[in-house]
């Protein structure tokens, strides 16, 4: 039975990949037919993957019931998605006046999406979706502004099942079918073509140069893979299974190693050209080409990466047990594998910025990646099994993201149709009392709260309805408002008490959840100021025309990060006294004043303070060396 399940799943994966390539080069279906067929295929692949995983475990009464439930789910998906696909034209003409079979198929497909969301993404997101459905049906029992007179059953089902348009469970499927699927598969093939091994080798090379090299290589690996796969938690599980043990073996504590992996994987969703799924959702919400979103993200992404590397520097500098080593580096391996990554990735980047479709860009990048991998020498060439495993990982990851889009589409539809999203935003506006910075703080808190336990795309989709419109009403530019919400949707994954990213890291490291969350916050706290920076100085999002003010603010943020790290970790090329550490908190407070007043003079003061501190620190360090005192090694 296990062999049959694996064969069926693999056959469907191959068919789904081939189908997506085919519809990219030749449109032979109507739009809704494509979307229902895509939804049906990703649901079947996901269900069979779950069944295959469950069958491999020791058989118990519970596992047998679970597999039986998956069999029912599989049958229900085939029947409902198949019926909607075959009758989509007729249903589109007669909805919302539906026949009995239409109603049953609609209810079944919504129930299947809800069940898959629960099985793949957990009870929090599934509960949110289930509550949205309940509210849509029984809104007349809710009090005050949230009292809603529900429409007829036929209308409810037609909206939630996506009948007649891209809404409900079909709301986000165009994004999966037309845009993201092949990009995520490309990300999976990076694993299958030994790119992770490349980054491990680069880590050895960096370790020979710097004590913190193992931390820096972990950041490079996590961001490079994560910005393509677009799934922070899955990326932590993938790259973290390699990077976290490697850092621990070199002397980094499990909590700090987990924190580095978590923050790097989260930040990868900010980095162009892919930005996970959220960047594409933002382009849809704003009605602009994705290239515009990716361009606007360049400076914030650069600032985040700098903050992350500075944080890793201080982790290394404050870890006495972390030592540099002279491990042998396979330069030949780097020379053969690196070109396949660079050429394919730069091709993807170039085609996206030339405004070719993401699917077309990813297809060319995939061909180049596979072609350049095949021409490597035998010892560096991936096996057919490795390539296939990478394809399977990429397709399953793409299916999981599509499940999010189908599930969260239900919530989006309810919020829009009932007007509840507008009502929630209005309550926040009233609480802010017309103060824009209070509104931004409330917006941050709401975004972190909404995102607790949710994957980033789902969190951002809700934030875009609940929080972003009221920020726009406060006079914030739409692009800035969406980036602000998207940024905190990402960071909700490290926010206790849920912090799903931290949970994933601690399962690998075996260390404390709250200790890892604390280290992640220490490393990345200054990055929380980045969205407030581009809210105060929108030119930061106008790359390459960021202007003098934007450039000074960016430099001031980098200097602020160094002050923060030196104060919190208590080192900067030497051990710092308690008084020095307290004094070093002044520039971060000055940066907050810069954001509050928008007076660029504060940026100049911070930069000047940085120059003074570096000079003073060098002077004290020279005196310590001259007197023979022990100092912190500068090779971190």
Residue 206 or residue 138, greater confidence? 138
Residue 1 has pLDDT above 80, yes or no: no
Do 42 and 12 lie in a common domain?
yes
Residue % of the chain over a pLDDT of 70 = 93
Structural domain harbouring 607: 546-636
| Segment 456-500, tens digit of pLDDT | 777 888 888 888 888 888 888 999 999 998 888 888 777 766 677
**Average pLDDT of the segment spanning 278-286:** 84
Residue 630 has pLDDT above 60, yes or no: no
Inside any domain, residue 428 = no
Residue 60 has pLDDT above 90, yes or no: no
Give the confidence band of 231 by pLDDT, cuts at 50, 70, 90.
Answer: low
Residue 385 has pLDDT above 70, yes or no: yes
Nearest partner of 119 among 176, 74, 162, judged by Cα: 74
Give the confidence band of 227 by pLDDT, cuts at 50, 70, 90.
Answer: low
Provide the pLDDT for residue 114: 95
| 575 strand-pairing partners | 571
Cα–Cα dist 428/383, whole Å: 55
- Please give the distance of CA 488 from its chain centroid, rounded to a whole number: 11
Residue % of the chain over a pLDDT of 90 = 25
Q: Which of 572-576, 591-595, 607-611 has the lowest mean pLDDT?
A: 572-576
Residue 97 has pLDDT above 90, yes or no: no
Last residue of a domain, one of 153, 169, 185: 169
Inside any domain, residue 308 = yes
Do 345 and 196 lie in a common domain?
yes
Do 239 and 363 lie in a common domain?
yes
Residue 209 has pLDDT above 80, yes or no: no
Cα–Cα dist 148/628, whole Å: 76
| Segment 162-171, tens digit of pLDDT | 887 888 999 8
Inside any domain, residue 532 = no
Inside any domain, residue 334 = yes
Do 191 and 296 lie in a common domain?
yes
Inside any domain, residue 509 = no
Measured CA angle at 617 (ends 552, 604), to 5 deg: 20
Residue 29 has pLDDT above 70, yes or no: yes
**Average pLDDT of the segment spanning 377-391:** 91
Provide the pLDDT for residue 501: 76
CB 319 within 8 A of CB 253: yes
Q: Which of 377-386, 507-516, 584-593, 604-613 has the lowest mean pLDDT?
A: 507-516
DSSP 116-140: HHHHHH-HHHHHHHHHHHHHHHHGG
Do 219 and 99 lie in a common domain?
no
Residue 357 has pLDDT above 90, yes or no: no
Give the confidence band of 12 by pLDDT, cuts at 50, 70, 90.
Answer: very high
Residue 228 has pLDDT above 80, yes or no: no
Do 10 and 99 lie in a common domain?
yes
Residue 148 has pLDDT above 80, yes or no: yes
Do 198 and 144 lie in a common domain?
no
Do 158 and 215 lie in a common domain?
no
Residue 631 has pLDDT above 80, yes or no: no
| 571 strand-pairing partners | 575
Residue 628 has pLDDT above 80, yes or no: no
Inside any domain, residue 522 = no
Cα–Cα dist 430/432, whole Å: 5
Do 249 and 396 lie in a common domain?
yes
Residue 598 or residue 268, greater confidence? 598
Residue 633 has pLDDT above 60, yes or no: no
Residue 635 has pLDDT above 70, yes or no: no
Q: What is the pTM of this model?
A: 0.81
Provide the pLDDT for residue 79: 94
Inside any domain, residue 462 = no
Last residue of a domain, one of 169, 203, 225: 169
Inside any domain, residue 600 = yes
Whether residue 76 is preceded by a cis peptide bond, meaning omega within 30 degrees of 0, is no
Residue 634 has pLDDT above 60, yes or no: no
Number of domains into which the chain is organized: 3
Residue 544 has pLDDT above 80, yes or no: yes
Give the confidence band of 22 by pLDDT, cuts at 50, 70, 90.
Answer: very high
What are residue 531's phi and psi, to 5 degrees? -65, -35
Residue 154 has pLDDT above 80, yes or no: yes
Do 162 and 179 lie in a common domain?
no
Which alpha helices (H) appear in 250-353, and where do they start and end?
254-267, 278-286, 290-296, 298-317, 331-353
Residue 32 or residue 324, greater confidence? 32
Residue 424 has pLDDT above 90, yes or no: no
Provide the pLDDT for residue 312: 86
575: helix, coil or strand? strand
Mean pLDDT of the chain: 84
**Average pLDDT of the segment spanning 530-534:** 91
Last residue of a domain, one of 169, 203, 235: 169
**Average pLDDT of the segment spanning 575-603:** 89
Do 267 and 400 lie in a common domain?
yes
Handedness of CA 50, 491, 362, 215 (dihedral sign): negative
Give the confidence band of 116 by pLDDT, cuts at 50, 70, 90.
Answer: very high
Provide the pLDDT for residue 109: 95
Residue 370 has pLDDT above 90, yes or no: yes
Reading the block at residue 607, the tokens are 């930069």
Q: Can you list the pairs that 561-566 forms with residues at least 24 positions away whose Cβ atoms lie under 8 Å?
A: 561/306, 561/307, 561/310, 561/311, 561/526, 562/310, 562/610, 563/587, 563/588, 563/609, 563/610, 563/613, 564/525, 564/526, 564/588, 565/310, 565/311, 565/313, 565/314, 566/314
Provide the pLDDT for residue 134: 94
Do 201 and 246 lie in a common domain?
yes
64: helix, coil or strand? helix
């Amino acid at each position: 039975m296990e062999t049959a399940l694996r064969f069926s799943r693999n056959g469907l994966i191959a068919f789904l990949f081939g189908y997506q390539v085919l519809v990219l080069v030749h449109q032979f279906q109507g739009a809704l037919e494509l979307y229902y067929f895509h939804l049906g295929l990703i649901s079947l692949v996901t269900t069979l993957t779950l069944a295959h995983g469950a069958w491999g475990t020791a058989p118990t009464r519970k596992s047998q019931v679970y597999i039986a439930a998956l069999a029912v789910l599989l049958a229900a998906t085939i029947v409902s998605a198949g019926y909607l696909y075959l009758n989509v034209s007729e249903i589109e003409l007669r909805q919302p006046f539906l026949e009995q079979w239409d109603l049953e198929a609609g209810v079944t497909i919504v129930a299947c999406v809800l069940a898959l969301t629960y099985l793949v993404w957990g009870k929090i997101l599934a509960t949110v979706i289930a509550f949205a459905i309940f509210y849509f049906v029984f809104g007349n029992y809710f009090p005050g502004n949230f009292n809603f007179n529900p429409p007829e059953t036929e209308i409810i089902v037609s909206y939630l099942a996506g009948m007649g348009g891209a809404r409900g469970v079909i709301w986000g499927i165009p994004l999966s079918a037309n845009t993201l699927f092949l990009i995520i598969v490309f990300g999976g093939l990076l694993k299958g073509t030994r790119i992770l091994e490349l980054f491990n080798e680069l880590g050895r090379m960096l370790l020979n140069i710097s004590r913190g090299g193992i931390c820096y290589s972990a950041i490079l690996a996590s961001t490079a893979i994560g910005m393509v796969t677009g799934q922070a938690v899955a990326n932590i599980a993938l790259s973290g299974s390699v990077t976290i043990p490697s850092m621990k073996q070199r002397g980094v504590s499990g909590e700090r190693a987990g924190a580095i992996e978590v923050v790097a994987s989260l930040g990868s969703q900010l980095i162009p050209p892919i930005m996970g799924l959220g960047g594409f959702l933002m382009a849809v919400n704003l009605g602009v080409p994705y290239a515009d979103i990716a361009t606007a993200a360049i400076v914030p992404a650069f600032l985040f990466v700098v903050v992350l590397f500075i944080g890793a520097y201080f982790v290394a500098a404050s870890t006495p047990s972390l030592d540099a080593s002279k491990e042998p580096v396979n330069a030949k391996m780097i020379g053969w594998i690196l070109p396949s990554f660079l050429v394919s990735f730069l091709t993807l980047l170039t085609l996206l910025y030339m405004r070719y479709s993401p699917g077309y860009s990813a297809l060319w990048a995939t061909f180049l990646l596979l072609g350049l991998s095949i021409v490597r020498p035998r010892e560096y060439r991936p096996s057919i099994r490795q390539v296939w495993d990478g394809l399977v990982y990429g397709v399953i990851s793409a299916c999981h993201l599509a499940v999010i889009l189908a599930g969260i589409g239900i919530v989006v539809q309810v919020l829009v149709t009932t007007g509840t999203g507008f009502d929630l935003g209005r309550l926040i506006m009233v609480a802010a009392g017309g103060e824009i910075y209070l509104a931004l703080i409330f917006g941050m808190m709401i975004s972190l709260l909404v995102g607790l336990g949710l994957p980033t795309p789902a969190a951002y989709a809700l934030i875009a309805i609940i929080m972003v419109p009221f920020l726009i009403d406060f006079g914030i530019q739409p692009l800035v408002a969406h980036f602000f919400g998207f940024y905190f949707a990402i960071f909700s994954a490290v926010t206790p008490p849920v912090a799903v990213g931290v949970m994933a890291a601690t399962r690998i490291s075996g260390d404390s959840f709250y200790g890892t969350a604390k280290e992640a916050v220490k490393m990345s706290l200054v990055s929380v100021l980045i969205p407030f920076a581009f809210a105060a100085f929108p030119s930061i999002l106008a790359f390459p025309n960021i202007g003098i003010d934007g450039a000074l603010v960016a430099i001031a943020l980098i200097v602020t990060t160094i002050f923060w790290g030196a104060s919190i970790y208590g080192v900067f090329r030497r051990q710092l006294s308690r008084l020095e550490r307290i004094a070093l908190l002044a520039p971060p407070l000055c940066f907050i004043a810069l954001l509050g007043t928008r007076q660029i003079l504060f940026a100049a003061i911070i930069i000047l303070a940085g120059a003074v501190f570096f000079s003073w620190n060098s002077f004290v360090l020279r005196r310590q060396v001259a007197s023979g005192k022990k100092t912190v090694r500068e090779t971190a």
